[in-house]
Amino acid sequence: MGPRWGNRIGLCLVGLALVAGGFGLLSAARGRPGAALIGKSVVDASVVDGKPWALPLLAGAAMSLALVATRWLVLALGWGRVGSRTGAGIAMLGVALKGIDGIGRISVRLVRDGRLRVSVSLQRSADLRQVIRRLDESAISRVRRAVGRDDALAVVRLHVRRR
């Protein structure tokens, strides 16, 4: 059961790039104090005059960067992580938790990467300890079997309501 590293890796790379860029900018400014930061040849695009491959290459690099960042954005926004509700799983969880008072809302979601996200909200009067034991010992494995994924990693979120 591994954690999700994607966001952290992305943030780390961007942070390192920013730090490197900052130091590069500092050293460049120190080296040529009088020079313009953005050269004349860059502004009127004459820097690429003798190199016909430069612009397509730059366009390709910019586009792949944009595509990767867009994909990251979509994934970070929760695409494929929310999952879909499974009626069979919810029904089985309800059956498995039968006999415990004070169960509020339950939901079971099946995430694409094979995880099972279970959320149970309890009323204040509920016996939390009993719910935890029941979930741990039988309910989750029964839900797994009902959903058809016997060895799925299940993440359970428990909440206690105000009343």
Partner 1 sequence: MSGKGERLMSVVQGILAGSSARSARGAGSGSGAEGAEGAASAGSGTGAEGAGDGRDAKGGRSGTGGRRSAVRVLRPGRTPAAVVVAAVIALLGWVLTAVVVAVMLGVSPPWRLPPRLLNLTAADPAVPAAAAGMIVCGAGLVALALVPGRPRLVPLGCRDPLLAMGLTRTGLRRTLAASAREVEHVRRADVHILRRRIEVAVVADADTTGALLREVGAAVGDRLAGLGVQSRHEVVVRLRRRGS
> b/e for 24-58, b at 16 or more Cβ within 10 A?
eeeeeeeeeeeeeeeeeeeeeeeeeeeeeeeeeee
Cβ proximity to partner 1, 22 vs 148, nearer residue: 22
Stretch that binds partner 1, among 68-76, 87-95, 101-109 (CB under 8 A): 68-76
Q: Which residue has the tokens 């029941």?
A: 134
Nearest to 116 by CA among 144, 148, 97, 94: 144
Q: How far is the CB of 108 from partner 1 (least distance, A)?
A: 13
Contacts of partner 1 in 95-114 (CB under 8 A): none
Query: Is residue 85 a contact point for partner 1 (CB under 8 A)?
Result: no
Contacts of partner 1 in 125-144 (CB under 8 A): 128-129, 132, 135-137, 140-141
Query: Is residue 51 a contact point for partner 1 (CB under 8 A)?
Result: no
Q: How far apart are the first and last CA of the chain?
A: 35
Contacts of partner 1 in 17-36 (CB under 8 A): 17-23, 25-26, 28-29, 31-36
